[in-house]
Amino acid sequence: MSRKPIIAGNWKMNKTIDDALELVRSIRAGVRDIDSVETVVCPPFITLSAVSDSLATSNVGVGAQNVYFEESGAYTGETAPDMIEGLVSYCIIGHSERRQVFGESDEWVNKKAKALIAHGITPIICVGESLEQNQAGETESFVRGQIEGSLDGLTAEQVANLVIAYEPIWAIGTGLTATPVDANRTIGISIRGVVADLYDEATAQSVRIQYGGSAKPENIASFMLQPDIDGALVGGASLKADSFVKMIEETAGALGS
């Protein structure tokens, strides 16, 4: 089954509105002729409307970095799904920074996924282990548990249309990376394999799974050549147009398109 690769840039807490518009103008120009790779940018909430308008007629999609699962209410500082509906096609949930800094659980990720799907927004569900868990040989069981908890109650059709990002926590912003072979193995066994166990092989072969964790232009092609890796969730390298566009180009080139 052919899965279109997806490269998404997570800008985290960076860029003013003016900075964001300058960046997306350059990205838009750089990838305008590349249709074999899906390009997505995930800017801060304050810039979403302006970025969405700027990219409306382009081949660059827009995602949010987080969402709350309630429709409305006394949740100061939170953003409901219908507030971003129409502005974004994707939304990152369960990022390790949300889990570690803000204490978000698999149960919360699951609720967010259901809320997003109800509003026609595709979740990008992040999973990944710590360095301690990796060194203790707990990667497979831990990531399996995250997948099982995050997908609880979703239908096979809903899961087939998700994006899942495997981001080993120890490789985020550290300069360290999992080897392409190791990342592919974890994705194949603990993510795609678990989806097959929970649903069926067709669903497992439909869901797109990204690698994240210090992915950059110099190493992206080696990850994209792995059979179970369908793209990347990019952090720091997505904050500069030249490096992000280069990653899109390298991905297209690695896949012969």
Q: Provide the β-strand partners of residue 9.
A: 41, 234
Residue 95 annotated as catalytic: yes
119 noted as active-site residue: no
* Active-site choice (38, 95, 129, 250): 95
Q: Which residues contact 118 (CB under 8 A, 6 or more apart)?
A: 81
Active-site residue among 38, 104, 167, 250?
Answer: 167
Active-site positions? Answer: 95, 167
